[in-house]
Structures are given as structure tokens and as C-alpha cells.
Structure 1
Amino acid sequence: MLSLRLPQLFDIHQVPKVFREDGIMSGYRHPRSSALDCILSSFQMTNETVNIWTHFLPTWYFLWRFSVLCSSLDFLTDSYTLPLLVYMLLICLYPFTSSCAHTFSTMSAEARHICYFFDYGALSLYSLGCAVTYGSYAMPDCWVNSWLHQHFVTIGVANSLFCTSMSCYSRFVELQFPHKSKIMRTAAFVVPFLFDSFPLFYRLLSCCWGSCSPSQALASHSYHLLFAFLTCFLFASHLPERLAPGRFDYIGHSHQLFHICAVVGTHFQMEAVLTDMASRKDWLTSHSSLPSFPATLGVLVLGVLLNLGIIGIFSAGLPRTPRQSTSAHLHQE
């Protein structure tokens, strides 16, 4: 039988400030955990365990949906499916990256920052994938071939770089200016979301004004937007743990609920994208040009390279903390 000891857990006053979370009083892992300790901790109840699994398990769900689509669609030769290919790759990437970030973020203070740099980068690439997909399948009829339609993906690339840069920078001011850091990080993700969602807002408002007929795609888009707003609220508010510190350390705190809402929202978004893609194919292919490799997979490769460059720059700028000082801090506080 295995005789591995599960890692020791600590209270909030026993770990350095960089590892502390608002309203979470216990269940912290050692701030110098080994990679094995981090993996083992995912099988014990810590304040990160549910965070890890609420994104690791959905990764397999999205991979399964992707594999089913691969068997029914021809991603290699049908250029109309290329935006969907980009989108499916990224909705598999972002929850997996998040799960890894939460798993290995206690190896050191530097590792914590770098883990979340990659988490932010994956989320910003996901926003780029939404721009590619919405620009191809979800654009309102009257916007097709407009200036916004033609430059939608280009602006999406800029938004992705803004998102990664702003969210990574926010970690540098987090300890001295926690409220400023939170505002910056929230804005970093809200700006791409609002831009990507403009076509959806227009389509939904048009239906409210009676200019269109409700459809299954718009219903799914509505559910996605609802869960997206819930995700933003939970991320910014730190509820419910802010109202009752210590009561939601292991189950029920805002980041866990944030993960669940994000994944459920992505599920409805995926269903809406698939419905728009199928139902609007004839009209879109007759009124606009087919998606091209450079405007889809090419943009994805460019986005990955640019975001990795930003992550590399911010990682290189991190202050290096001697190993013994962190251990000393653990025993002093």
C-alpha cells in the first residue's frame, strides 16, 4: 500500500501575505511545496482542492465534445469550420491551465506569480478565440462586411494583449495596493468580454425590439451572458466568504463558485456557437468570404507567441526571494 503523507496545512497568519486570500482563514498549503506535494494536495481537502477539480474535470468534458466534433466535421479541409477549431482548442486550454495554476501555485512566491501569469494568458487567448468565432458565426446580419466585422479579430488580438499585460502587472502592485490591483485585474477581463459580446448584445436587443425571432442560439447566448455576469460578480465581490470569514474556506467560497459559473457559461456559449454555425451557414457563406487559415489558426499562433512574450517579460521582472527567507516567514507569522 502507498504510505505517502499528505502535506501539512496552515492558517492564514502562518503563510506570507502573497499567498493569502480575502476571507479564507485556513487550509493553506506550505508556501515552498514540492511538485509532488502540490499534486498530493489535490487529493486532500485544502482551500484550493475544489478550485483544482472544478476546472480539471470540465477540461475532459470539453475534450470529449471536441473529439465528437472531430468525428463529424472536417476541420482539415472545410475552412468554414476553422473558427470553431480555434474556439474548441482554447476552451480546452483555459480550464486545464487554470487547474495547473491552482495545483502548483504554492511551490514558491515566484512560481505562484508565474502560474497565474499563464492562467491569465490562457484566459486572454480564450477571449481571442471568442472574437474569432463570433466574428465568423455570431455577427448580426446588418454588421456583416462592415468595418467592425473586418477588424473584429484584429481588435480581439489587441484586447488579448491588453488583458494579459494588465492582469500580469496587477500582481506587482497587489500587496501594496490590493484594491487597485483588483480593479485592474477585473478591467483586464471585462474589456475583452464586453467587446466580444457587442454582436450578442445587439442581436438580443434587436429581438427585444421585435426585429427578429427568438432562436435556440440566442437563448443559449443569453444563458452564457447571465453566467458571465455572475462570474464577474463573484470574482470582484469575494462573496460569500467576505461576509463570514473562515466559514467557506474549503467549500463554497467565491473562487469555486466563479469557476463553476465560468464553466457552465462556456458550455452554453459552445452550444450557441454550434447552433449559429449550423443554422447560419448558408447565409454567411453567400454574403461573406469564408474564414481563412491566416485569420483563424494564424491569428491563434500569433496570439500564443505574443502572449508568451508578455508572460516572459513579466516573469523576468519578478523579484527573487531567497529560499530561507520564505521558510523563516512561515515560522515567524
Structure 2
Amino acid sequence: MLLRQPLAAFRRATSLTMLSLLKLPRLFTVQQVPKVFHEDSIVAGYRHPCSSARDCILSLFQLTNETLNIWTHFLPTWYFLYKLLTVVLIGDVWHDAFTWPLLVFLLSCCVYPLASSCAHTFSTMSTRARHICFFFDYGALSFYSLGSAIIYSAYVVPDEWVNTTFHRYYVSLAVFNTVVCTALACYSRLGLPFVHYNHDTIKRFSEYQSPKLGKTIRIGAFAYPYLFDNIPLFYRIFMCSGDGCTVNDANVLHYYHTALAFLTAFLFATHLPERLAPGRFDYFGHSHQLFHVCGIIGTHFQMQAIEMDMKLRRQWLSTHSVPITFSGTVGAAAFCVVLSLGVIYIFSLALLRSPTQKSEKGAKQ
């Protein structure tokens, strides 16, 4: 009996501790969180705007308006990582330069959903954390754009464009576009650092003063590099005819991922279906969830099409196309990452320097 009482007390204390650890964070409505956290036509399911890292992680197992946004990108990351490791472990990537563009593309496919899921997970830690999280999200999307350009240059470019001036400078222009894309996307949130915002005040250039302008800039920031990167593909599958065109079984898969890419852009720009019934799609079926799903499926079809092109055209491209070099693949990707991180650092610097919580107070007003 003497031993049972302390044992029972220990069990009760342990149970209470476990319950407190597993207690899920409280959710809020749109009226209860600062405007910077608002999502168009999403009424409920918001997390606390100053959540701890622990609360953010616990919210992964709680139904919020961000839960499916996180999981629809986090789970596919592991599938893309599996594809990357398969190429690295099975192929002779160290000596086979023809696989280098595929490695860069698969790496970008791993990075962008992982960055997105992390951004959605930890974006409610503070106002500053929200902006910085999505700065990295934009940089990752830009990197994916460059990965697509590198692999299109290597495997997808139509026969009659091989070795043309456009083909030789295509990747270099894509690197430039990628950095511009990152800068414009970051600019669309707050404007210019130390001009529209600094450590004392945040004027909310676009998100508060001109939300439509900010949204338009952000859409343009990603639409422009996408359209440029796909010039060879669009010409090949929509315009090219006669000799010099590349017609093979991969074209059908290219049609699929192109259609899904435009559907993804449509969902991102229109906020459908939640705009038609605010509050009805807070947890399931809102545009950002559908945007994530369509984007991932589109990337899957894109990957299949590229692998097929790589297999079917390898012999011809190895003979006729420009040589695949380290500087034009891995080097270009590394250079782009360094420049994009520099852009993110500049845009984040003013927020990170904040010695007080004035920026947080300004966001709640």
C-alpha cells in the first residue's frame, strides 16, 4: 500500500504532464489576428500570431487553415528526395555529365516544397518571421524555375533550336530572371528595405497600402520567369511543325504539366472557390491547398516528361547539342542560390535589426 500511493501520484503527475505537452494551441478567427496574417476569404482556423516554435509544430497535428498547406508540400518532398537519391546512387553522376541537369532539377524539386511547408509551419511565430519565411519560400520557387530552365536547355529544346544563339544564352538569362524574380517577390510584401520599412517603422508598402498592387507584382514575379523558361517547350508542343520539330511520347506528358501549371496560376490569382463562399473552405478545399496539389502533380508530370526526353533523345543531343558543363548546370545553380540568399538577406536585414517590438505593434494597428 505504501508503494502504491507514490506510484499512483507519479502516474497522475506524468499523465498531467503529457496532457499539457499534447495540448493543442487555440485557434482564432480573422477578426482576432493582425491584418498581415489575413488570408483572402478565409474566416477561421488562424493560429496565434506570436506562436512558439513548439506550438507551430503541434499545429501540424491540428486542423487549422494551414494544415493541408503544410502536408501537401511536406510529404511530396520525400518522394522527390527519393527520386534524387535514386539517380545519385544508381547512376554514374560523377562521370556522366549528361545527368547533371537532372540532378539540379531534382534538387530544386526537393527544395521548393520543403521551403514552402516550413514557411507555412513557422510563419505565425511573429510578423517578422512571417515575412522572412516567405522570402525563403520565394527564393526556393525561383530556384525551381532555374532548375526547369537548366533541364529544358539540356533535354527539351526542339531540334531546330539546338546550338542557336538563344540556346547558348538561355541558361544565363534564366539565372538573371531568377534573381529578379526573388527580388520582386520579396518587394511585393514590404517594398524596399530602409525605404518603405526599417527597424523603427513598417509602412507596409503593398500589403497594407496597396494589396492589389502587391499581389499583381508577386504574380508577375513568377509568371515572367515561368513564361521565359517555357519558351522552348511552348514552341515545341504548340507552334513547331515540319522538319526540326521534336515529336515523341514525352509531348503528351508535357501537355499535362503545362495544363496543370496554368491551373495552378489561375487558383493562385483568383482565390477560388473560397471567394464565392467565405468561411466555407477555411479548412478543406481553399485555393492555396488546390494550388499546392496542382503544382505538385504538375511537377510529377514534368519530371516524367523530362526523364522520357532524356532517355529518347540522349544519343542525338550528345552529338548535336552544346556540351553540358559543370558551370552551366551545378555552377549556375550554386551562383543563383548565392545571389538569391543575398537578396533575401538584404530584404530581411531591416526586420532582423529591430531592437524592439515596434514593428509587431505597428502590424496590429
TM-score normalised according to structure 1 size: 0.95
**Alpha-carbon offset, residue 288 of structure 1:** 2.1
Aligned mate of 1:189, from 201, 222, 244: 222
Aligned mate of 2:343, from 310, 315, 322: 310
**Alpha-carbon offset, residue 76 of structure 1:** 1.0
The separation in 2 between residues aligned to 1:81 and 1:248, in whole angstroms, is 43
1:72 aligns with 2:95: no
**Alpha-carbon offset, residue 290 of structure 1:** 2.6
Gaps spanning 5+ residues in structure 1: where? none
Aligned mate of 1:198, from 223, 231, 240: 231
Shift of the 76–37 alpha-carbon distance from structure 1 to 2, 3 Å rule, reads same
Instruction: Provide the residue aligned with 2:250 in structure 1.
Output: 217
Contact 1:32/1:327 (8 A) holds in 2: no
Shift of the 186–325 alpha-carbon distance from structure 1 to 2, 3 Å rule, reads closer
Q: Aligned Cα RMSD in Å?
A: 1.9
Instruction: Provide the residue aligned with 2:166 in structure 1.
Output: 148
Shift of the 9–290 alpha-carbon distance from structure 1 to 2, 3 Å rule, reads same
**Local SS of the residue matching 1:171:** helix
**Alpha-carbon offset, residue 289 of structure 1:** 3.3
Instruction: Provide the residue aligned with 2:180 in structure 1.
Output: 162
The separation in 1 between residues aligned to 2:183 and 2:362, in whole angstroms, is 32
Instruction: Provide the residue aligned with 1:126 in structure 2.
Output: 144
The separation in 2 between residues aligned to 1:25 and 1:322, in whole angstroms, is 30
1:106 aligns with 2:124: yes
Aligned mate of 2:66, from 48, 53, 56: 48
**Local SS of the residue matching 2:335:** helix
Amino acid corresponding to residue 230 of structure 1 in structure 2: L
Instruction: Provide the residue aligned with 2:48 in structure 1.
Output: 30
The separation in 2 between residues aligned to 1:84 and 1:290, in whole angstroms, is 15
How many residues matched?
330
Instruction: Provide the residue aligned with 2:269 in structure 1.
Output: 236
1:61 aligns with 2:79: yes
**Local SS of the residue matching 1:75:** coil
**Alpha-carbon offset, residue 162 of structure 1:** 1.0
Contact 1:42/1:103 (8 A) holds in 2: yes
Amino acid corresponding to residue 292 of structure 2 in structure 1: H
The separation in 1 between residues aligned to 2:233 and 2:143, in whole angstroms, is 19
Amino acid corresponding to residue 219 of structure 1 in structure 2: V
Alignment map for 1:267-286 (pairs within 5 Å): 267-286=300-319
**Alpha-carbon offset, residue 174 of structure 1:** 1.4
Gaps spanning 5+ residues in structure 2: where? 1-14, 191-205
Q: Which has the larger radius of gyration?
A: 2
Give a deviation string over 1:269-320, Cα, whole Å, max 9, x none.
0011111111111111101233111111111110010000000000013384
**Alpha-carbon offset, residue 210 of structure 1:** 6.1
Instruction: Provide the residue aligned with 1:177 in structure 2.
Output: 210
Contact 2:159/2:246 (8 A) holds in 1: no
Contact 1:83/1:296 (8 A) holds in 2: yes
**Local SS of the residue matching 2:351:** coil
**Alpha-carbon offset, residue 216 of structure 1:** 2.1
TM-score normalised according to structure 2 size: 0.87
Shift of the 140–7 alpha-carbon distance from structure 1 to 2, 3 Å rule, reads same
Shift of the 124–324 alpha-carbon distance from structure 1 to 2, 3 Å rule, reads closer
**Alpha-carbon offset, residue 206 of structure 1:** 4.2
**Local SS of the residue matching 1:31:** coil
1:12 aligns with 2:25: no
1:266 aligns with 2:299: yes
Instruction: Provide the residue aligned with 2:11 in structure 1.
Output: none
Contact 1:15/1:329 (8 A) holds in 2: no
The separation in 1 between residues aligned to 2:362 and 2:328, in whole angstroms, is 52
Amino acid corresponding to residue 248 of structure 1 in structure 2: F
Amino acid corresponding to residue 287 of structure 2 in structure 1: S
The separation in 2 between residues aligned to 1:153 and 1:191, in whole angstroms, is 15
Contact 2:87/2:93 (8 A) holds in 1: no
The separation in 1 between residues aligned to 2:246 and 2:357, in whole angstroms, is 62
**Local SS of the residue matching 2:50:** coil
Give a deviation string over 1:56-78, Cα, whole Å, max 9, x none.
00001111122222233211110
The separation in 2 between residues aligned to 1:310 and 1:327, in whole angstroms, is 26
